[in-house]
Chains A and B, each alone.
Chain A
């Protein structure tokens, strides 16, 4: 039961870290936050998700008042510029924007998203309904922070499950996530990515438990319910479905071969539950909310020009320098380094518009390599079964392939737009790698190693916080 104290501390740590990032970031300076918050406001004020799918650029009168008053676009992307600092502005906007309508049936370019996250965030918004809009925004941000705290707690349990008996490894995994500044900066904003990450962490845990302890009906149903909920969380979740299918296949295959039919039935039951959740959403969406059902922005429709050859070329150039005689598909950079590694470890801001210097990714690459090496050492030696960890790793690779395919489709119409934040749903794997690094050490060194890593992660966070303070407040 000692791990329950750990769990409480992990949740407290993540809530504190998330609150710190939610508080320090100026209003609407997290990626796509304006559009996502407009969705939350529509749900809270109108009682249904937005119906206007065309991006008119319009917001509710109240949101427009605050958005313009806080001069959001004057300093976004312009690192020389600063937000307004004069205290009278806030009380002046409080007065000016009070009484303006908070109702608008649209959410810019995010209105087509499924509603699960926004329904939760609308709870935070309603809780603060007596306060001015920026405080409601902070409450909605804190809903994301709570979701991330759950995700980190689930990752702690995942590592306990996969590296059994080693609480230092699980603690190190939790610290690696809760003190990962880019993750916390992005996920402490109003953005359904937070729910995506939480659901993926839960699916990983259910899979690990089902593997170790057997695929019971309740676990199969949980697996299906989480998948169904994930599809209702954000369109990006669709790129996780191949990985989830792989996990389901692994659950069916693992264990006593004579029980495979039973496991197949249970998994089918879970699948039915996932489909039922989606069907229920489609029904409510159509008959109650009178809203179109789409998982795609009109702007994303491809103009054609794709081919298998081009796709293979695209995938090659994503990871490796292009071959002689091939057309450059990225503008002189290597996406696996520039978009993936740098994106998730060193960049802050709306579009990664500020962050760490170029030395940082090199250090991170060394850290990732060490963690992977430790994982390779630990997994074969794990007392229980190494396969769950390997399956999770394979699922992560499949997820990356799906993301590249999605990016390829997008690139045909709009050019490469891959962003490191898209892999946030796989962050529990980073926790797992760090946990393995600690588990690879001799038992008496694990506590010391975890302490050192915690100090390192804290330093990463402090550098990111001071960079953010420098960007907005100095």
Chain B
């Protein structure tokens, strides 16, 4: 029993360390698969994607894009036709692992479907990754934010992931969201209960099995 208890404490310690590690944390995504490069967003250009669904709690977006040449990478994003959430967020944190992260002006209190515009504020062009889409859903690119030139359509939509924060955060604030995510993915409110009760029961039953005496047995 003591050996098991010591093991459980070690496991709990490792879990605490894992939960405290900071990373980008999602609240959702737009369901666009990463299949192809849908187009290049030149430096200074603005790309707008209509009908972008953003769940409540979104405070930043992660855009699937890689630098298409030398130079610094940075973006700003803007929500249009989203009522009080219109406006441009902070400068994004540069390309990393095929993604660029940029903050929205405010965290979204409720889910919205809006036009999401990405403004390439860096020196390097950006190759946008996503999937093909019909003309009404395609991302369109304006040569520069203030040029007034007509927009050019790309061949599809860029993949957008919605983040809880524009900074890397630990998993602790996410834990409370797990039951609701499990219930939605399984389609049943029973599922998170099964998970939690099962997890606790598993540890307790293991401990009880090891606590019972088994001495005095020889083979």
Contacts and interface: CB of A to CB of B under 8 A. Distances in A.
A16 B194 CA distance: 8
A65 to B, nearest CB: 11
Contact of A447 (B28, B31, B182, B214): B214
Interface string A427-471: 000000000000100011011111110111011011001100100
Contact of B2 (A15, A89, A451): A451
A235 interface: no
A138 B194 contact: yes
B191 to A, nearest CB: 4
Interface residues of B, number: 64
Interface in A137-182: 137-138, 142, 163-169, 171, 174-175, 178-179
A26 to B, nearest CB: 4
A12 B201 contact: yes
A454 B195 contact: no
A179 B180 CA distance: 26
A134 interface: yes
Interface in A37-76: 66, 70-71, 74
A135 interface: yes
A451 B3 contact: yes
A458 B11 contact: yes
B187 interface: yes
Nearest to B9: A455
Given A20-B195, A23-B191, A138-B190, A454 B214 contact: no
Contacts of B177: 85
Contacts of A375: none
Interface in B149-190: 171, 174, 177-178, 180-190
Contacts of A137: 186-188
Contacts of A21: 198
A447 B187 contact: no
B212 A5 contact: yes
Nearest to B34: A80
A13 B209 contact: yes
Contact of B182 (A135, A169, A459, A473): A473
Contacts of B214: 166-168, 171, 446-447, 450
A451 B55 contact: no
Contacts of A5: 212
Given A9-B205, A15-B201, A171-B214, A165 B219 contact: yes
Contact of A86 (B25, B26, B111, B210): B111
Contacts of A22: 191, 194, 198
A75 B154 CA distance: 25
Nearest to A455: B7
B1 interface: yes
Contacts, number: 225
Contact of A23 (B1, B6, B195): B195
B109 interface: no
Interface stretch (A104-112, A116-124, A363-371, A376-384): A376-384
A74 B202 CA distance: 32
A447 B193 contact: no
A17 B3 contact: no
B187 A179 contact: no
Interface string B197-209: 1111111111011
Interface string B1-38: 11111111011000100100000011111010110000
A16 B182 contact: no
B185 A83 contact: yes
A299 B214 CA distance: 52
Interface of A: 2, 5-6, 9-10, 12-13, 15-27, 66, 70-71, 74, 78, 80-90, 93, 131-135, 137-138, 142, 163-169, 171, 174-175, 178-179, 378, 381-383, 439, 443-444, 446-452, 454-456, 458-459, 461-462, 465-466, 469, 472-474
Given A26-B185, A469-B178, 4 more contacts: A70-B185, A71-B31, A87-B184, A93-B187
Interface of B: 1-8, 10-11, 15, 18, 25-29, 31, 33-34, 55, 111, 171, 174, 177-178, 180-206, 208-210, 212-219
24 contacts: A13-B201, A13-B206, A20-B201, A21-B198, A23-B194, A24-B195, A26-B185, A27-B187, A70-B187, A81-B33, A82-B26, A82-B29, A83-B185, A90-B184, A135-B189, A166-B219, A175-B206, A454-B206, A455-B6, A455-B7, A461-B202, A466-B15, A469-B178, A473-B178
